Chain A
Amino acid sequence: MILHVNHIPPKQTALAASVASALVTAAGEGQVPPRILENLNVHLDWLQYKTNFREALTLRRAIKGEEILPWIEVGVDLRQVRPDQLKDEFVNALNDAVDPAAGARKRVYLEPFAPVRSGIIWRFNNLFWQHLPLWETAAGHGFEKSLPGGTSDANHPEAVADAVADFWTLLKDLEGHNQLPQEIFALEIGVGTGQRAAAWLDRFRALDKERGTQYYPRIRFLLADYSMPTLNRALEAVKEHRELASFLAVDALDPFKSLSFLRYKVLSIHLTNVYDNLPTDEIVVREGKLYFVEARAYVPAATAARISEAFGIPPAEFVRTVTRLLEVGPTHLHHANVEQGVTFWRSVWDAIRLEERLISIQSILDAPLPAGVKPTLLENFVGDGVMNQRFHLSSGALESFLNTMPLLHPRGYLQVQDIFVTKLEDYGKLFRGPGKMDGSIVNWVNGALLAEVGARAGYDVHFAPFHYREGSRTSMLYTTHRE
């Protein structure tokens, strides 16, 4: 057995030590077959997100074609683990490795194994944004309350003022070269509550007046989101600038699909906390060998039974009811009682976990690559020196980036405020997701890969810490044209 101690916060080192000790003791007591012990790798993690998709102990098998490889991995979440139960759970988990059918009886599966980005959890994520007001009513707070600090960093007045000042300078420079377009397009994708757009427009109008330029009436501010409830809320927020603002239903994965008429015309594009909410796959490197992660969502059988009983659903109908929830939404799940539908939704979401398996691949090119990403971009990304690492492909973020850039004016720029991992090795320093953020999903974004892809697409990608709020973990991604 090899024990890997990953990203443990300093305050949890004592806990990690006791867990490690318990595991070594369990292994030494002869309850685990020697053949399993020889191939066993245990990873101790502190999952950053209080609510996530893992149980205290998670078993992961490696697969090559139809063959189950001897390699066995057990993930231990120190946040959830109960030391008094650890030993039994550890032995039970390894018994499940020997007898998968026994393990399967403890779970109600919602789907077959699939690459993570194709999983059912993303349908739940979609459900959240489509029925946001219902969730917020049930939760008793707006979705931004779930963010660290309880509000979006995007709305920070100083950050907005600086962004506006930079944009005004760009316009002035373009005007100086007689290149300022008659219509000045600015685009925000993922509009949140609309407060940032409102603050931006307020500030721009004031600056324009203060400096005596006439840019404000030429602004065409596009607010784009795939959630109609969100767009409606944003409309209210920017009502003072209604004549300059347009509201567009746009798929964040492919903004160009809806906005191709603006090819090379948009001078400023901004996104906040969008990339971290887009589907992604994960790659695992173990002893230098590559795997991609497949997962299937499940609800622990006992929890599924409890939920079924609480909502008067026959246990055999549980999965079908979840499927129906995703198809018709919480509003129509129980015709007479919307609240009942929302409560069921929230209960299931809270209970969902992911069972993972590692699919052996020869090279990263055998992984499900993000659409539009040339294989040559990725083949050098994982260097020979990487022996043990688990990282996101950030498939959705890469697709979104590549499908957004063609909108940029040659002098325009893209700014993305999000949680980025800017160096591959930093994946080992912190758990990077997936986590649950209210009813949605959050993953850190592979900024290192984004920078690589950006460079090959003709953009230098830079990251700067968000310095306007102390303790903020978000960064600003800036693009500049690459010559």
Chain B
Amino acid sequence: MSLPILPTTVVGSYSMPGWLERLKTEFFARRISRQELDEIHDSAVKAAIKDQEVCGLDIITDGELRRDNMIDYFAERLPGLQTDHTNKKFYYDFYDWVVRGKIPMASLRLADDFRFLSQFTDHGTKFCVTGPHSLVKRIKDEHYKNEQAFATDLARVMNMELKELARAGARFIQIDEPYYSGFPEDFQWGVKVLNTLVEGVDAKIALHVCYGNRYGKPSWAGNYKYLFPAILEANVQQVTLEFARRGGEDLELFKEFPNKLELGVGVIDVKTHEVETPEIVAERIRKALKFVPAERVFVLPDCGCLHLPQEVAFAKLRTMVQGTKIVRKELGA
């Protein structure tokens, strides 16, 4: 489908309702069944889709509401990873994962999630996948010689899944790699891992790098300078970065290192419940347009809306769309 200039989207997750948090925890306490939880997830995803459509987003996701967190949803699908399933109390906690042997090739069944999403919307869609670097940082390695070798093997297995997603119709896939901001020195080899991950995948690839959003707070501080110039070697078409909370100073990097990347510019601060005004959103977009041409700019929040209350997430996305329309009008679109 054709997109307007400055397409609007989310980074991935939508607000997790309190009732769903409670029901997920009920599942861990064995008080509801897997089948019941699946049905609950289906309903929650449909509601998230509807909310995004009503907000006026051009590209939507499934809200990632099936996922307990960005690690476990993938780790439990990767064959060969082990965990003691008693080691978390609350659904959002991480399991303690360990790898003790080479990871075999296997389907991660992510395409089912994409098919569900595409079945319930005629909007543009995006599917988000946690990248190998972030997974490696949360899985204890007792087999591979080093993190790069482990991440490369994960990328090899996940590459097959990305191809499966593309075959299922996913035209836009986002790789989430926030842990680079905590371990910037890894990015040099991280680019090679990224290229292994996306090799031969017939879809637009975006790389999302933020400063963490665990429990709705940043995990690291610093700047995006470490991404350049290495990112120019990555086979990705878009990079989505956090600018609303941190300010737009790092936009200068797009001038300092000329490139053809699309920029997903974060214009909504997801770490505060204060709802931005459309004018503030417009101003943040205008700032980005000083460094990247409009035809290569996508508009989105800094990171996922997972930790925002539903009414706040909804209001913020709506404002984001309104602010974008102001700038589109200025551009004569």
Point out residues on A near B: beta carbons under 8 Å. 177-179, 181, 263-264, 374-376, 405-406, 409-411, 455-459, 481-483
Is B211 a contact of A410 with CB atoms below 8 Å? Answer: yes
Is A406 a contact of B18 with CB atoms below 8 Å? Answer: no
Chain B residues contacting A179 (CB-CB under 8 Å) are 221-222
Question: Is B56 an interface residue, CB under 8 A from the partner?
Answer: no
Is A458 a contact of B222 with CB atoms below 8 Å? Answer: no
CA–CA, A204 to B214, complex, Å?
A: 32
Task: Give chain B nearest CB distance to A150 CB in angstroms.
Answer: 40
By beta carbon, the residue of chain B nearest A379 is B22
Chain B residues contacting A375 (CB-CB under 8 Å) are 18
By beta carbon, the residue of chain B nearest A482 is B215
Point out residues on B near A: beta carbons under 8 Å. 18, 21-22, 25, 90, 94, 138, 211-212, 214-222, 271-272
Task: Give chain A nearest CB distance to B165 CB in angstroms.
Answer: 27
Chain B residues contacting A456 (CB-CB under 8 Å) are 90, 215
Chain A residues contacting B216 (CB-CB under 8 Å) are 458
Task: Give chain A nearest CB distance to B247 CB in angstroms.
Answer: 12
Is B94 a contact of A264 with CB atoms below 8 Å? Answer: no
Is B221 a contact of A410 with CB atoms below 8 Å? Answer: yes
Is A376 a contact of B21 with CB atoms below 8 Å? Answer: yes
Is A458 a contact of B220 with CB atoms below 8 Å? Answer: no
Is A376 a contact of B221 with CB atoms below 8 Å? Answer: no
Identify which of A409, A459, A482, A483 contacts B221 (C-beta below 8 A).
A409
Identify which of A181, A376, A410 contacts B218 (C-beta below 8 A).
A410
Identify which of B25, B90, B220, B272 contacts A410 (C-beta below 8 A).
B220
What 17 additional pairs, Cβ within 8 angstroms, besides A177-B222, A264-B221, A405-B217? A179-B221, A263-B272, A374-B18, A375-B18, A376-B18, A376-B21, A376-B22, A410-B211, A410-B221, A411-B220, A457-B215, A458-B214, A458-B215, A458-B216, A458-B217, A483-B138, A483-B214
CA–CA, A455 to B22, complex, Å?
A: 16
The 7 A-B pairs with the shortest beta carbon distances in the complex, nearest first, are A458-B215, A410-B218, A410-B221, A410-B220, A179-B222, A458-B217, A410-B219
CA–CA, A457 to B307, complex, Å?
A: 10
By beta carbon, the residue of chain A nearest B212 is A410
Chain A residues contacting B94 (CB-CB under 8 Å) are 483
By beta carbon, the residue of chain A nearest B274 is A260
CA–CA, A264 to B215, complex, Å?
A: 14
Is A411 a contact of B221 with CB atoms below 8 Å? Answer: yes
By beta carbon, the residue of chain A nearest B215 is A458
Identify which of A181, A374, A410 contacts B217 (C-beta below 8 A).
A410
Chain B residues contacting A457 (CB-CB under 8 Å) are 215
Task: Give chain A nearest CB distance to B181 CB in angstroms.
Answer: 10
Task: Give chain B nearest CB distance to A452 CB in angstroms.
Answer: 9
Is A481 a contact of B219 with CB atoms below 8 Å? Answer: yes
CA–CA, A28 to B243, complex, Å?
A: 76
A-B contact count (CB 8 A): 45
Chain A residues contacting B21 (CB-CB under 8 Å) are 376
User: With A376-B21, A410-B212, A483-B138 given, is the CB distance from A264 to B90 under 8 Å?
Assistant: no
Chain B residues contacting A458 (CB-CB under 8 Å) are 214-217
CA–CA, A459 to B216, complex, Å?
A: 12
By beta carbon, the residue of chain A nearest B307 is A458
By beta carbon, the residue of chain B nearest A459 is B215
Task: Give chain B nearest CB distance to A186 CB in angstroms.
Answer: 16
Q: List 30 A-B contacts (CB under 8 A).
A: A177-B222, A179-B221, A264-B221, A264-B271, A375-B18, A376-B18, A376-B22, A376-B25, A405-B217, A406-B217, A410-B211, A410-B212, A410-B217, A410-B218, A410-B219, A410-B221, A411-B220, A411-B221, A455-B90, A456-B90, A456-B215, A457-B215, A458-B214, A458-B216, A459-B215, A481-B219, A482-B214, A482-B215, A483-B94, A483-B219
By beta carbon, the residue of chain B nearest A408 is B217
Chain B residues contacting A410 (CB-CB under 8 Å) are 211-212, 217-221
Task: Give chain A nearest CB distance to B103 CB in angstroms.
Answer: 22
By beta carbon, the residue of chain B nearest A376 is B22
Chain A residues contacting B138 (CB-CB under 8 Å) are 483
Chain B residues contacting A376 (CB-CB under 8 Å) are 18, 21-22, 25
CA–CA, A327 to B211, complex, Å?
A: 48
Q: Which of B138, B221, B271 is the most central at the interface, judged by chain A CB atoms within 10 Å of its CB?
A: B221
CA–CA, A181 to B221, complex, Å?
A: 9
Chain B residues contacting A411 (CB-CB under 8 Å) are 220-221
Chain B residues contacting A406 (CB-CB under 8 Å) are 217, 271
Chain A residues contacting B218 (CB-CB under 8 Å) are 264, 410
CA–CA, A177 to B21, complex, Å?
A: 36
CA–CA, A112 to B211, complex, Å?
A: 50
CA–CA, A409 to B90, complex, Å?
A: 25
By beta carbon, the residue of chain A nearest B138 is A483
Chain A residues contacting B271 (CB-CB under 8 Å) are 264, 406
Task: Give chain A nearest CB distance to B25 CB in angstroms.
Answer: 8
Q: Which of B22, B215, B271 is the most central at the interface, judged by chain A CB atoms within 10 Å of its CB?
A: B215
Task: Give chain A nearest CB distance to B94 CB in angstroms.
Answer: 6
Task: Give chain A nearest CB distance to B307 CB in angstroms.
Answer: 9
Task: Give chain A nearest CB distance to B223 CB in angstroms.
Answer: 9
CA–CA, A458 to B94, complex, Å?
A: 12
Task: Give chain B nearest CB distance to A181 CB in angstroms.
Answer: 8
Chain B residues contacting A409 (CB-CB under 8 Å) are 221
CA–CA, A179 to B221, complex, Å?
A: 7
Is A264 a contact of B22 with CB atoms below 8 Å? Answer: no
Task: Give chain B nearest CB distance to A479 CB in angstroms.
Answer: 12
CA–CA, A455 to B18, complex, Å?
A: 17
Task: Give chain A nearest CB distance to B245 CB in angstroms.
Answer: 8
CA–CA, A33 to B21, complex, Å?
A: 51
